């Protein structure tokens, strides 16, 4: 069994694969200052609670966009599983050429998503990852990573709105009764949800116009199921795309 860990700016997702099947998964809040001992207690306890002893786990694959967490997990991963530890970073085999100006600056999660999209859904493809930021990653017909778009995430937009105004407040991210809000809460909900959906469709249409042809469009990330119902340009939601990408890259590097 393989343990996979994806550390994002807001949330960390873990999964255990039995072959190609995702047998278990968890989400926890990312804490930048979390120590190695805290990771051992938290992650080790979660795995033990579900019956995943160290001896059952044959390896670990980690992607992280939070450097302190990367360093801590590099040390802790060996405690969690009885096998090799793979951290996604420059030099790791992904089977995908990275055709941008500086390949080293691309976040590990973005490459992992691109690899998963190409293998599981085919190419060309565009992946929208709804997290702290909303990222678009583009895979060419030749299965090359050719770039993408980074935009403000939905929750970051809400926090910015609250901080910049005196009377507005945080709202539940659910659709209002109508686009035209009948009160302040509904007006904020409409602006956030439909505004972000419009952002996704606007950027996606421009990407598709540049690519041309038949392109598969995917969404992943914690907020995908919240936004995609109001988008017109996303074909598929795969909540666990990043975890599958980690599995695929671990298999390539075994």
φ/ψ of 68, rounded to 5, equals: -60, -35
CA 189 to chain centre: 23
Q: Name all domains of the chain by residue range, CATH numbers in brackets.
A: 2-87 (3.30.420.40), 103-115+122-240 (3.30.420.40)
- Residue 108: pLDDT over 90: yes
Helix (H, G, I), strand (E, B) or coil at 213: coil
Give me the pLDDT at residue 248, please.
97
Tell me: the pLDDT tens digits for 68-89?
A: 999 999 889 888 888 899 999 9
Give me the pLDDT at residue 63, please.
95
Mean pLDDT of 96-107: 93
- Residue 25: pLDDT over 90: yes
Classify each residue of 172-196 as buried b or exposed e, where b means 16 or more C-beta atoms within 10 Å of its C-beta: ebeebeeeeeeeeebbbbbbbbeeb
Residue 109: active-site member = yes
Give me the pLDDT at residue 254, please.
84
The Cβ of residue 209 has, within 10 Å, a number of other Cβ atoms equal to: 8
Give me the pLDDT at residue 91, please.
87
Euclidean distance between CA atoms 48 and 46, whole angstroms: 6
Tell me: the pLDDT tens digits for 130-166?
A: 999 999 999 999 999 999 999 999 999 999 999 999 8
Mean pLDDT of 193-205: 97
**Catalytic residue (choose from 109, 129, 137, 238):** 109
């Amino acid at each position: 069994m393989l343990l996979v860990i994806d550390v994002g700016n807001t949330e960390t997702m873990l999964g255990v694969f039995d072959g190609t099947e995702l047998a278990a998964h968890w989400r926890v809040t990312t804490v930048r200052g979390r120590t190695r001992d805290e990771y051992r207690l938290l992650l080790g306890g979660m795995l033990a609670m579900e019956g995943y002893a160290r001896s059952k786990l044959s390896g670990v694959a980690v992607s992280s966009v939070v450097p302190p967490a990367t360093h801590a997990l590099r040390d802790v991963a060996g405690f969690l599983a009885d096998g090799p530890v793979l951290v996604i970073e420059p030099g790791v085999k992904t089977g995908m050429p990275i055709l941008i100006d500086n390949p080293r600056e691309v976040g590990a999660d973005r490459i992992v998503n691109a690899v998963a999209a190409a293998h599981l859904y085919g190419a060309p493809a565009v992946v929208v990852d709804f997290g702290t930021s909303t990222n678009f990653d583009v895979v060419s017909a030749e299965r090359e990573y050719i770039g993408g778009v980074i935009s403000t995430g939905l929750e970051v937009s809400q926090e910015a709105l609250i901080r910049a105004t005196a009377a507005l407040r945080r709202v539940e991210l659910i659709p209002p009764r109508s686009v035209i809000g009948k009160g302040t809460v509904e007006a904020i909900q409409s602006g956030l949800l439909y505004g972000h959906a419009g952002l996704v469709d606007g950027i996606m249409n421009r990407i598709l116009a540049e690519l041309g042809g038949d392109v598969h469009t995917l969404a992943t990330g914690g907020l995908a199921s919240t936004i995609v119902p109001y988008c017109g340009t996303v074909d598929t939601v795969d909540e666990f795309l990043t975890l599958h990408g980690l599995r695929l890259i671990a298999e390539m590097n075994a």
